[in-house]
Amino acid sequence: MILKIKPGYFAVIASLILFLVIAGCIQFLDKEIAVKVMHFLQSIRTLHKATENIPDLLPYLVGAGTILTWVIYLYRLSKKKYGIKTQFLFLSATALPAAYVLKTFFQFAFGRISAREWLLLKTPHHFNWFKDFGNGCFPSGHMTVFAAFGTAILIYYPQYRKAVLILLTLLGAALIATDYHYLSDVIAGAYLGVLTTYTLWLALQKRIAVS
């Protein structure tokens, strides 16, 4: 007999498991991984220099992506082109800025500096609640935004599931491997991105259905 779990209960159980995983990473893995990554980067001078001052292009990517998806969506509506592609565009155009706003709020709320800053400044490893707006790293903004967009793809184009999961995994690995994020930042960002898009999809289903 197969045990069937309602979607709502499954979401709650999955969230609790993720919270425990994130808490475990913060307590036992984040610092150790960050230190080992920095030692590796410092052992290769060229690599260390290349990753030292990577510009943050996320606000520009979100802005350009949001504008582009809204423009294409509105164009398709004007031509009365409804269907999967139009629904996908509407969800993406809504989820991208929503994910960015949410990650900004939570980064400010948690107030956690990046792994690289922690190693450089040698400050205590803790959360500075509601301090230093714009300097937080938990959850990862890049992971939040790209996971939100990836979730929209998975909802409407599940045939690309493998490609989306591989790309998100590579992104998460890159964020950790450059010491700009802890492991827990990446996991929390992925969770927030998925939750944002899925919640919007549920809330906007009537609006999306007539697109």
Q: Is residue 140 part of a domain?
A: yes
Q: What pLDDT is recorded for position 163? A: 98
In angstroms, rounded to a whole number, what is the distance separating the alpha carbons of residues 72 and 81? 11
pTM of the model: 0.92
Q: Is residue 158 part of a domain?
A: yes
Mean pLDDT across 56-79: 96
Q: Is residue 1 part of a domain?
A: no
pLDDT in tens, 173-206: 999 999 999 999 999 999 999 999 999 999 988 6
Report the number of distinct structural domains present in the chain: 1
Q: What is the CATH number of the domain that holds 190?
A: 1.20.144
**91 Cβ partners below 8 Å, 6+ apart?**
152, 155, 156, 197, 200, 201, 204, 208
- At 71, the amino acid letter reads V
pLDDT in tens, 101-135: 999 999 999 999 889 889 888 777 778 888 776 67
